[in-house]
Amino acid sequence: MEPPTIAPRPSWAPDDGPAAKWIKGPMDLAAWKRSLAHRDYLDFLHRVNDAVAGKKTSQWVPQSPGVQKVMSMLEVIKGYTDKHPPEAEMQQRYGNKAYRKWYAELTENAKELINDVLEEVENDGAAAMLEPYLLDSFGNQTRIDYGSGHEAAFIILLLCFEKIGLFTPEDLPAVGLMIFGEYLRACRHLQRLYKMEPAGSHGVYSLDDYQFVPFLWGSSQLIGSNFDPNNYPQPEKVQDHDMESLFLEAITYINDTKTGPFYEHSNQLWNISAVPNWDKINSGLFKMYEAEVLLKFPVVQHFLFCKYFQLTPVPDEN
Amino acid sequence: METAAAVSETSAGLVENTVNDLDKQIQTLMNCEIISEAEVKSLCAKAKEILIQEGNVQVIDSPVTVGGQLPYTNYLFLGDFVDRGHYSVETFLLLLALKVRYPDRMMLIRGNHESRQITQVYGFYDECVRKYGSPTVWKCCTDVFDCLSLSAVIAGKVFCVHGGLSPSIQTLDEIRAIERKQEVPHDGAMCDLLWSDPEDAMGWGMSPRGAGYLFGSDVVKMFCENNGVDLICRAHQLVMEGYKWHFNETVLTVWSAPNYCYRCGNVAAILELDEDINKEFSIFEAAPQENRGAPAKKPLPDYFL
């Protein structure tokens, strides 16, 4: 039985306000799919993907002051956990409620943190606009959970920083390897410290309970390497190589935090290890990401849009 | 001891559902093996016949095991039968077979995952296609989902629902008035019952899930008073200890999936209520690893071929 017809909403239009949600129902997915934001997001993912191809996480890459500022910001955010250690277990449902205090600290400082990052760049007061992305990058305050939507929020933030002019084209490898690598380590620290729940995990159909993009960009890093994909389900084969790729670092984290045989707890990754080379894994993961993350309402309903990430339709070719 | 009525169907595709057939199917499913598509169709048809006769607020007498031993006690399952795991198909069909076999002993209410939209995201659809080669079984099962009741009341005192309360619902009669035989809506009373969560703030709050609401102890107090119940028993949220009391023991969360996502290290719980609705909890951990041996590696062809 169809719900009563409601008058259609006015089309989304960019303004100077803070980034906000707009996708209300599955009927909005079509608008998202043909938007500038969707195009720009995939374009950004691909450009960073290409920039990190064949590069080890541990190798030196150029870092402009813009990159260094974001790295400092991540360090500060991670450091807030020192002020908010986990509280004694009594009466907690699952996640530790000290996370909410950590999150309050982030909320208090978010605008200032972004202003510091954008200090040297003309930004028209972008901090207020971008603050919601930063606040959505590290999980949900109420549910004390983290998932691929939060990861996407951080990547959108980076995309916006690039639009504003914070990064040079030479910075893309650093964006993927250094910034994103540090971001992941900060998230893992939070996940373990505060016992964060997987948010909307697809369970055995997930690549991973928390992340997707380290496997995406990480597989690009391994293109041309000697590391046989068939081996990554075996922890002892990954151990010595995990600083070569975000992919392997993510596998180590899985091995450290999940129980039982790999084929059972990470069945999709188990299956993918049979793909003959990293190129095919990389292109396959892009298809999977587009279908399983970017086109699924439970994830994208939380996406935020602003002047730098617009729901406006991509103009027709003609 | 109840016996299921024999169903002889002469229409194409349906098979007889005798007690013997059901017991065999139950055994097969308990062994984590699938039954045939024809058997699924027949089972779903019979289950729907039974389920549509149930009200939106099922009346159950104690003793009850929420989440004993059939057929000597009543069993109530609070929803979320499918998605995320390896054996959603076998799990749901087992519950249906038990329902058809012991219709007055087994009660199933709907969770937010008993939905066409949700099961196309979280795995049940994919599992059906993989195990049966087509979406037919998924379609049969989702049609059954539409027939599932929304809630239950045990011994007039314990209100059971998958998620929680709704600002659109003050009384059980208002739940009874809901037209439930439909896909779970995006908002409104039926959606809220399957999606809401208790939270420490008073009154109603926006849910971070994007569906349902957060509700406080004051809301619960009023609902209990209005409806003469003592307790709201629900599921929907992971609990480290398997069960958790909220709001001065007026809300209880029961969570029956141990070691969620093979990472959370939680235990699972089952609530047992005796004739006088005294409460006892059965706690259990994840089953020990069966050394089935590593399965073949099968990368998803849509993406990796």
Mean pLDDT of A45-73: 97
Q: Which chain B residues have a beta carbon less than 8 Å from that of A284?
A: 299-300, 303-304
> What mean pLDDT do residues A157-165 have?
97
Residue type, B34: I
**With an 8 Å Cβ cutoff, are A264 and B85 in contact?**
no
The reply to whether A34 falls in a domain is: yes
| CA distance to partner chain A, nearest, from residue B23 (Å) | 29
CA B286: distance to chain centroid? 19
B300 has a chain A CB within 8 A of its CB: yes
* Residue A66 · residue A179 · CB < 8 Å: no
Residue type, B107: M
Q: Is residue A196 in a domain?
A: yes
A296 chain-B contacts, CB cut-off 8 A: 121
| pLDDT score at B17 | 54
Q: What pLDDT was estimated at residue B6?
A: 41
Q: Count of A–B CB contacts within 8 Å?
A: 112
Residues in chain A within 8 Å Cβ distance of B286 = 259
Among the partner-chain residues B244, B295, B304, the one whose CB lies closest to the CB of A272 is B304
Q: How far is B292 from chain A (nearest CA, A)?
A: 10
| Residue A318 placed within a domain | no
Question: Going by DSSP bridges, is the β-strand pair B158-161/B231-234 parallel, antiparallel, or unpaired?
Answer: parallel
Alpha helices in A167-308 (DSSP H): 172-174, 180-193, 213-221, 235-238, 246-257, 262-265, 267-272, 278-289, 297-300
Does residue A12 lie within any of the structural domains?
Answer: no
Separation between Cα atoms, residue A227 and residue A236, nearest integer Å: 13
Q: Which of residues 158-187 of A touch B (CB under 8 A)?
A: none
pLDDT (0 to 100) of residue B18:
82
**Residue A11 within a domain:** no
CA distances from B105 to A87, A130, A182 (A): 43, 55, 54
Contact A140 B85 (CB under 8 A): no
Contact B84 A201 (CB under 8 A): yes
Structure tokens at B240: 């480290």
> By the CB < 8 Å criterion, does A291 face chain B?
yes
Q: Which residues of B touch A209 (CB under 8 A)?
A: 261, 263
The reply to whether A276 touches chain B by the CB within 8 Å rule is no
Amino acid letter, A14: P
- Tell me if residue B232 falls in helix, strand or coil: strand
Residue A291 falls inside a structural domain? yes
Distance from CA of A165 to the nearest CA of B (A): 33
CB contact under 8 A, A205 and B122: yes
Q: What is the C-alpha to C-alpha distance for residues B213 and B198, in angstroms, rounded to an integer?
A: 8
Question: Can you tell me the distance from the alpha carbon of B13 to that of B42, in angstroms, rounded to the nearest whole number?
Answer: 8
Residue A297 forms contact with B (CB below 8 Å): yes
User: Mapping DSSP to helix (H, G, I), strand (E, B) and coil, where does residue A202 land?
Assistant: coil
Q: What is the pLDDT of residue B70?
A: 59
The answer to whether residue B301 neighbours chain A at the CB level (below 8 Å) is: no
Contact present, A59 and A180 (Cβ < 8 Å): no
Identity of the residue numbered A116: D
A161: CATH? 1.20.120.1150
Chain A, window 88-107: residues with a beta carbon less than 8 angstroms from a chain B beta carbon: 92-94
Q: Which residues of chain B have pLDDT under 50?
A: 1-14, 68
Q: What is the pLDDT of residues A245-284, one digit of tens each?
A: 999 999 999 999 999 999 999 999 999 999 999 999 999 9
Judged against a pLDDT cut of 90, whether residue A7 lies above it is answered with no
What the block records as the tokens of B162 is 């998958």
> Assign residue B243 a region: left if phi > 0, alpha if psi is -120 to 50, beta otherwise?
beta
Structural domain including A107 reads: 20-305
CB pair distance less than 8 Å for B261 and A264: no
**Contact list, A257 vs chain B (CB under 8 Å):** 263
CA distance B113 to B117: 9
pLDDT tens for each residue of A186-242:
999 999 999 999 999 999 999 999 999 999 999 999 999 999 999 999 999 999 999
Q: Does B84 touch chain A (CB under 8 A)?
A: yes
Q: What integer is the mean pLDDT of A93-118?
A: 97
Whether A6 maps to a domain, the answer reads no
The reply to whether B113 belongs to the active site is yes
High-pLDDT (> 90) share of chain A, %: 91
Over residues A15-35, the pLDDT tens digits come to 999 999 999 999 999 999 999
Q: Is residue A2 part of a domain?
A: no
* B304 to A301: CB separation less than 8 angstroms, yes or no: no
pTM of the model: 0.94
Subunit contact B84:A274, Cβ cutoff 8 A: no
Three-class SS state of A212: coil
Mean pLDDT of A87-99: 90
* Domain tally, chain A: 1
Report the gap between the CA of A1 and the closest CA in chain B (Å).
7
Q: How far apart are CA B219 and CA B90, in angstroms?
A: 38
Give the pLDDT score at B69.
54
Q: What is the DSSP letter of A136?
A: T
